[in-house]
């Protein structure tokens, strides 16, 4: 099982898998944490694609494109933790950490 832990206080994502650690920028906006969609969901086994017609990032679910509610900053699409929960992942939060599995 892959677990992604986000350290909210320093606004980075840390992924620990086979002794590999990578730090990523996250965004906190209106009391909601946003994480890089493509990289984070990729860690969880999802392939994030861009639909040029809809101008939305999304994933394929059962062969159908599902647009994600994202915000964009510096060319990167960020997805909220609420949206990640809506995709069926478990998101657990404490004062300093958010874990997605």
The pTM of the full predicted model, rounded to 2 decimals, is 0.73
Q: Render pLDDT for 49-101 as a digit per residue (tens, 0 to 9).
A: 888 888 888 888 888 888 899 998 888 889 999 999 998 888 887 766 667 78
d(CA 77, CA 20): 23
Report how far apart, in Å, the C-alpha atoms of 29 and of each of 55, 71, 81, 89, 96 are. 22, 10, 12, 21, 16
């Amino acid at each position: 099982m892959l677990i992604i832990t986000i350290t909210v206080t320093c606004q980075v994502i840390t992924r620990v898998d086979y002794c590999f650690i990578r730090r990523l920028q996250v965004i906190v906006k209106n009391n909601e944490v946003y994480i890089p969609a493509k990289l984070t969901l990729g860690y969880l086994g999802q392939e994030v694609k861009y639909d040029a017609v809809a101008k939305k990032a999304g994933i394929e679910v059962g062969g159908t494109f599902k647009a994600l509610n994202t915000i964009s900053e510096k060319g990167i699409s960020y997805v909220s933790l609420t949206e990640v929960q809506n995709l069926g992942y478990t998101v657990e939060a404490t004062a300093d950490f958010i874990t997605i599995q």
